[in-house]
């Protein structure tokens, strides 16, 4: 369940910036397709890098998940 909520939030953040998965990969070197679909676990280091990339704090990322 948590993995699904993380995946959904990451997809929302990417969509809000109008980026494709390929564009995110080119800039972060993180394959997010399987993560966004909930078919792959995400490491804390990858999540941290994506939060930096999307300019959201770790705290705010999880706060927004919790309130949904």
- 5-57 pLDDT per residue, tens: 999 999 999 999 999 999 999 999 999 999 999 999 999 999 999 999 999 99
Phi and psi, residue 66, nearest 5°: -65, -35
Residue 66 confidence class, pLDDT cut points 50, 70, 90: confident
Distance CA 36, CA 1 (A): 13
pTM to 2 decimal places? 0.90
CB 23 within 8 A of CB 33: no
- Alpha helices, DSSP H only, in 1-68? 2-16, 21-28, 33-36, 44-53, 58-66
**Closest Cα partner for 32 from 23, 41, 21?**
21
**What's the domain count of the chain?**
1
pLDDT value for 10: 98
Q: In CATH, what number is assigned to the domain containing residue 22?
A: 1.10.260.40
Q: What is the pLDDT of residues 43-59, one digit of tens each?
A: 999 999 999 999 999 99
Domain that holds residue 20: 2-66
């Amino acid at each position: 369940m948590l993995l699904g909520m993380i995946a959904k939030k990451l997809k929302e953040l990417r969509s809000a910036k109008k980026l494709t998965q390929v564009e995110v990969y080119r800039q972060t070197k993180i394959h997010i397709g399987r993560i966004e679909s909930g078919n792959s676990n995400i490491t804390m280091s990858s999540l941290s890098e994506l939060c930096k990339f999307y300019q959201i704090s770790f705290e705010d990322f999880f706060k927004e998940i919790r309130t949904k």
